[in-house]
Amino acid sequence: MNNQRGFSLLEIAVVLVIIGSIVALAAPRLLDRQADTRKVLRDFIIAGRDLKSRAKLGNVTYRIAVDFNEKEQTWWVEKASKPILLDKAEIERQQKDSSSGASDEAPPPPVFQADTSIFKKKQVLPDGYKFRQIESGTLDIIVTEGMGYIHFFPQGLIETSALQIEDPKANIWTVVYNPLTGKADVIPEAKTLKDLAR
């Protein structure tokens, strides 16, 4: 008597359909994270290119403002109401005040105001993404908490800067703005301006 029993063709087909369904449902979610990374990096590259042009054409200073808030990592564009000079001591004081949340004196009217002509509202990083640091080569400042800025000047120049963004898989991406050309380069690892100068 032949007692050998195997799987029928129908049983194998059902198992393959189930596995295929699971893969079809899971694949977009895995690929979506890569799409999120591309979108975040592309937004910074396009914003940098656009702000460089707008600053030169409008003879005004723009900046990308980055909020390192742990609850919600956001960024937006601001426009100066008058010509400005970058002052390292003043920027460090503002950064200290924004991270501590308190100041002894009444704040002066802000020189920069949010500009909604590029983005209608604050841009929020997707879940799991966070800003690691902004490094300013012009002022020799590294910001890891509070508020950080990247400036775009009327002369068509950009503040030498590097912005590090970490994705949910702990990969770090560095967006580096070239001060003369305005071109933004993306480096798929954590790099400082000093690393890049070598």
Measured distance CA(95)–CA(76) in Å, rounded = 16
Domain assignment present for 125: yes
DSSP string of 48-60, one letter each residue: HHHHHHHHHHHT-
Q: How far is CA 169 from CA 30, 53, 123, 166, in A?
A: 11, 34, 21, 8
Domain assignment present for 20: no
184: domain CATH number is 3.55.40.10
Domain assignment present for 2: no
Q: How far is CA 166 from CA 72, 84, 124, 185, 186, in A?
A: 14, 31, 14, 16, 13
Looking at the 3D structure of the chain, how many domains does it have? 1
Domain assignment present for 19: no
Domain assignment present for 155: yes
Domain assignment present for 11: no
- Would you give per-residue pLDDT tens digits along the chain (198 residues)? 566 677 788 888 999 999 988 888 877 766 666 788 899 999 999 999 999 999 999 999 999 999 998 889 999 999 998 777 777 777 677 666 665 655 556 666 778 899 988 888 999 999 889 999 999 887 788 999 999 999 999 988 898 999 999 998 899 999 999 888 888 999 999 999 888 876
